[in-house]
Amino acid sequence: MNKFINIAKKSIFNINPYVPGKPIEEVEREYKIKNIIKLASNENPLGPSKLAIAAMKKKIKEVNLYPDSSVFYLRNTLSKYLNVPANMLMFGNGSNELEQLIAETFVNPGEEVLFSELSFVVYPIVTEIVSGHAVVVPHKNFKHDIDGFIDRLSDKTKLVFLCNPNNPTGTIITKKEFERFMKYVNHRIIVVLDEAYSEYARSPEYPNGIKYLKRYSNLIVLRTFSKIYGLAGLRIGYGIADKDIVDLIDRVRPPFNVNLLAQYAAEAALKDKKHIKNTLKTNNAGKKFLYRLFKRLNIDFIKTYANFIFVKFNRSSMEIFKKLLEKGVIIRPQQENYARITIGTKKDNLKLAKALKEIAEC
């Protein structure tokens, strides 16, 4: 037993610690194999932009200095890129940190935080950290049940997390659904639209959160450089919100929370339109390939608006996960027979296909 258990904050014992996707190095050590592909954490399989790499190389000798806590250059570049005022931007050590900072800023002990039962696993964690009360809304056909969210709004509701596209299912909340929900939300409830995968969601039905900020002053839109920009290892995310919300969150933000290399790499990545175009092309081609593969292998799946696919195997996903590890392929098992598989390069997807076919034949 932990000898400090009696003095620790009670709410932390309700937390199921976040378990990241299994790292390549760990699989190499455990299985004594090479050429492993990781399709578990929705990283960009093309890697970062060459412009981002060049920016990091240029600044590497300055890592003995503290970074600019105001994130000045990236803030101004991103302001122009998104066409929003610079004072409406906030930055974090990944958007994960911003989710925790938002909860720390607004949620008092016992106040309610709403999120879907099948969504990003960080939402319940940050709720417990601030001793909030989690209100978990059951999903409806693997999507956010907007009517369910509306029904559960109460005088105690303080914060709502909406992941769009949703992780791990890849489904979206449509414009009509989002606008209908916001009609029922009063101004004292903070709504977080987590758009980590927004760049992949090329659909006329998808609501771009930034376009709603003038209409809803209680809305926070979160995005990240971890996914389509390929900078997951640098940990940098950002939020867009009313400047008064940003000012409040800045009170609890740690100083220097965005490292120097991340700031300059992110600024450079924004300028590399070719890299984004190639990433989307790779993702779309991979998506079509995997859809055909899953149909041939009788693996159920949900059509995705992101860079991953939510699948259902005909047996335990942990069993499939372990068998794939032996073949040098890492995926992300979910509950029961479900799993989330990142869309990789053509080479990655072919290796996954070969491994799945071999498993199916066993």
User: Using alpha carbons only, what angle is made at residue 343 by residues 342 and 348, rounded to the nearest 5 degrees?
Assistant: 105
Q: Hey, which bits of 231-312 come out as E strands?
A: 237-241, 300-302, 308-312
First vs last C-alpha separation in the chain: 43
**pLDDT tens-digit map of 27-80:** 889 888 899 999 999 999 999 999 999 999 999 999 999 999 999 999 999 999
Give the bridge partners for 237, in sequence order: 92, 224
Over residues 328-339, the mean pLDDT reads 95
Residue 203 has pLDDT above 60, yes or no: yes
Domains in the chain with CATH codes: 20-47+274-361 (3.90.1150.10), 50-270 (3.40.640.10)
Distances (CA, A) of 339 to 220, 315, 318: 29, 11, 9
What span, in angstroms and rounded, lies between the C-alpha atoms of 65 and 259? 10
CB-based burial, 224-245: b 16+ in 10 Å, e otherwise = bbbbbbbbbebbbbbbbbbeeb
d(CA 138, CA 145): 7
Q: Give the pLDDT band (50/70/90) at residue 362.
A: low
Is there a contact between 250 and 102 (Cβ–Cβ < 8 Å)? no
Residue with tokens 């950002």: 238
Question: Which has the minimum average pLDDT: 5-19, 172-186, 296-310?
Answer: 5-19
| Residues whose CB falls within 8 Å of the CB of residue 334, separated by 6 or more in sequence, listed in order | 168, 310, 317, 340
Say if CB 166 and CB 193 are below 8 A apart.
Answer: no
Cα-trace Rg, the chain: 21
Residue 9: what pLDDT?
Answer: 83
In sequence order, which residues have a C-beta less than 8 Å from that of residue 186 and are 6 or more positions away?
Answer: none
pLDDT tens per residue, range 216-237: 999 999 999 999 999 999 999 9
pLDDT range class, residue 127, cuts 50, 70, 90: very high
Which residues, in sequence order, are bridge partners of residue 302?
A: 310
The fraction of the chain above a pLDDT of 70, given in percent, is: 99
Confidence grade of residue 3 (pLDDT, cut at 50, 70, 90): confident
For the chain, give the mean pLDDT.
96
